Amino acid sequence: QTVTVEVLDHLEHLALVDFRDSEGIERLQKAIQFADQLHEVNTDGIEPMDSVLEDRCLYLRDDDVTEGNCTKELMKNAREKVEEYFVAPPGNIPLPKLEEQDTFLQGS
Amino acid sequence: LAPWVPVVGLEIHAQISSNSKLFSGSEVQFAAPPNSLVSFFDASLPGTLPVLNRRCVEAAVMTGLALNCSINKKSLFDRKHYFYADLPAGYQITQQRVPIAVNGSLLYSVCIDNKMSQMVTKTVRIKQIQLEQDSGKSLHDDTRSQTLVDLNRAGVGLMEVVMEPDMCCGEEAAAAVRELQLILQTLGSSQAVMAEGQLRVDANVSVHHPGEPYGVRTEVKNINSLRFLAKAVDYEIQRQIEELESGGTILNETRAFDSKLGCTVPMRDKEGKQDYRFMPEPNLPPLILYDTKSLPANMNHQQVVNIDWIHERLPDLPSVKRAKLVEQYGILPEHSFTLLNEDGLTEFFENVVNQTQMKPKKVIGWILKDLLSYLKQHSLTVKESPVSSFVLADLLNLLEKKEISSTAAKQVFAELWKGEGKTPLDIVKEKKLELIQDQKELEEICQAVIHGHENEVIMVVLR
């Protein structure tokens, strides 16, 4: 089972991970093969487990204000700020298609 | 031309009325200095974990019960992934697989032909109610090509109410949302003020020919009021019909409502169909709710949400309140709708009724025709009325005791509206509006009129 260009493109858009070189693609394929071993287990008639916490009690907190008011601390993480607002680029910058990526990254 | 059947569904996000956020202890407040109501968890700093707020769970259960839903005793949290500057974690915690409440219904009324006297009851099915986090706020600064992000709203609890596509036009959509708004406000689970972003509505619209499958739907966002909701839905229905009739196709896209132009436009910044990569929220076990039967004996009651306990304490819903008003006061159903539709009006009406001998059926006319029209003319709320219920009751008592005529009463009311602090009796005396009851005095006045108009009297006698 090979990873197609479409799947690669899709994954890069979703995860913003760079698979650009062939080593990356091979590593991805190996990772998928490794995970596919799960299919060897017979799970017929078994309820899927979606959390190892399934038997734990979900703790409920009282509705009290106990946090916040630490603007100064938080803004320390901001590369850029304007009057205590975080600054971000205007909207999402869509990742270009696989073929255009070399030129795209050269510009950044 | 074959007829078109418009189909409208709604996704409504109601901000939960609570002191702190859904998964953190930072405060929930509308206007505050940017990024001052943000905890480390809300800012998505590594090493922080979500802790569920019990009040938010109770709000969702209350709302589910009020909407006749089945409450899921076990519900799950999931992560919905997408990238946006006001979503610092890169995902939103929501309930995609098993939400807290499902399969409910909402009854609402619409007027036929804009006549309040002909109201029809409609039902819209509630697909589900889910708990989820709100995102932060983005302020777009196009001149400097940047976005300013305020995370005060990030993590505030939301109830997403999904209404099935059982509605057919803007009026139905607006009426359904209005009723939901009244229910939420009565429960106190959300203040549901659209203008403050506490109630946000997205409409899903499509059209098809009867007997054929549903058409492609578009999602309409950026609707800030009930009026705009009706306009946006009706515009979109028309646009789709015109597009299809001229041989075009409808794209499954998201559109924004432009209130200035009164139309919907495609939204920019959409990179095609989103893949949200839903996955279970690994940091939260399932949410278990109890009822009196399933309640374990030794559990700490602070850790328990008991559905039956909440059910017993539900207040009277708007539909019940209306029915009680009609029964208790003998007013018409459409009157009860208007009473509940204006904040404080029911209370005002009941206060007047309690302070006057005039029958409620007569009082209601004064409330809905005189008081309400004056309030609307001057854009005032009931709370801001220059005429209090006490003063109005005083006036109505004069009318009831036949000390003044109803025409005179309306004059007095107009004068009272100036809010100069005069009592109704003061004004009646000032303007000499008292009804004369003395037989002799009335005869003298009539005689004087007849004497003063001899020619007219002759004309009448000759006829």
B151 at interface of A, judged by CB pairs closer than 8 A: yes
pLDDT in tens, B108-117: 999 877 666 7
Smallest CA–CA distance, residue B47 to chain A, in Å, is 15
Half-sphere exposure of B311 (CA within 13 A, CB side): 14
What residues of chain A lie within 8 A of the CB of B289, using their CB? none
Q: Give me B38's structure tokens.
A: 């943000």
Out of B25, B269, B284, the one facing A58 most closely (by C-beta) is B284
The pLDDT of residue B392: 92
What residues of chain B lie within 8 A of the CB of A12, using their CB? none
What residues of chain A lie within 8 A of the CB of B18, using their CB? 63
Closest residue on chain B to A54 (Cα): B285
Q: Give me B317's structure tokens.
A: 């819903």
Contact between residue B61 and residue B307 where contact means Cβ atoms under 8 Å apart:
yes
B35 at interface of A, judged by CB pairs closer than 8 A: yes
Contact between residue B245 and residue B2 where contact means Cβ atoms under 8 Å apart:
no
The pLDDT of residue B425: 85
- Helix, strand, coil percentages (3-state) for chain B, rounded to 5, are 35, 25, 40
Q: Give me B448's structure tokens.
A: 């004087």
pLDDT tops 50 at residue A108? no
Half-sphere exposure of B150 (CA within 13 A, CB side): 17
Positive or negative, the CA dihedral B262, B264, B265, B268 is positive
What residues of chain A lie within 8 A of the CB of B275, using their CB? 10, 14
Instruction: Pick from A7, A51, A72, A81 the residue to mutate for testing the B interface (most B CBs within 10 Å).
Output: A51
Place of tokens 């799960």: A38
**How many beta carbons lie within 10 A of that of residue B3, not counting itself?**
6
Identity (one letter) of the amino acid at B56?
C
Out of A56, A58, A94, the one facing B52 most closely (by C-beta) is A58
Residues 6+ apart with CB under 8 A from B421: none
pLDDT in tens, B261-319: 999 998 855 555 678 999 999 999 999 999 999 998 888 889 999 999 999 999 999 99
Rounded-to-integer distance, Cα B152 and Cα A93, Å: 24
> How is chain A split into domains, by residue range?
1-40
Interface touch A69/B286, C-beta < 8 Å:
no
Smallest CA–CA distance, residue A101 to chain B, in Å, is 16
Rounded-to-integer distance, Cα A53 and Cα B74, Å: 14
Going by the DSSP 8-state scheme, the letter that residue B83 receives in this structure is -
Out of B25, B35, B142, the one facing A67 most closely (by C-beta) is B25
Closest residue on chain A to B33 (Cα): A84
B90 at interface of A, judged by CB pairs closer than 8 A: no
* DSSP-assigned beta bridge partners for residue B122: B108
Contact between residue B375 and residue B382 where contact means Cβ atoms under 8 Å apart:
yes
Identity (one letter) of the amino acid at B346?
T
Contact between residue B146 and residue B212 where contact means Cβ atoms under 8 Å apart:
no
- Count Cβ–Cβ pairs < 8 Å, chain A vs chain B: 148
The pLDDT of residue A28: 86
The pLDDT of residue B344: 93
Interface touch B35/A51, C-beta < 8 Å:
no
B81 at interface of A, judged by CB pairs closer than 8 A: yes
- Residues present in chain A in total: 108
Place of tokens 């459409």: B334
**How many beta carbons lie within 10 A of that of residue B96, not counting itself?**
17
Interface touch B35/A75, C-beta < 8 Å:
yes
B25 at interface of A, judged by CB pairs closer than 8 A: yes
Along the 463 residues of chain B, how does pLDDT read in single tens digits? 789 999 999 999 999 999 999 999 999 999 999 999 999 999 999 999 999 999 999 999 999 999 999 999 999 999 999 889 999 999 999 999 999 999 999 999 998 776 667 789 999 999 999 999 999 999 998 899 999 999 999 999 999 999 999 999 999 999 999 999 999 999 999 999 999 999 999 999 999 999 999 999 999 998 989 999 999 999 999 999 999 999 999 998 899 999 899 999 988 555 556 789 999 999 999 999 999 999 988 888 899 999 999 999 999 999 999 999 999 999 999 899 999 999 999 999 999 999 999 999 999 999 999 999 999 999 999 999 999 999 999 999 988 888 888 888 898 898 888 888 888 888 888 887 887 777 888 888 888 888 888 888 888 888 7
Instruction: Pick from B51, B61, B139, B147 the residue to mutate for testing the A interface (most A CBs within 10 Å).
Output: B147
> How is chain B split into domains, by residue range?
5-288, 318-431
Enumerate chain A positions whose Cβ falls within 8 A of a Cβ in B. 10, 13-14, 16, 50-51, 53-71, 74-75, 77, 82-92, 94
Contact between residue A26 and residue B287 where contact means Cβ atoms under 8 Å apart:
no
Half-sphere exposure of B304 (CA within 13 A, CB side): 16
Interface touch B285/A56, C-beta < 8 Å:
yes
Interface touch B20/A63, C-beta < 8 Å:
yes
For chain A, give me the number of helices (H) and strands (E)? Answer: 4, 3
pTM: 0.87
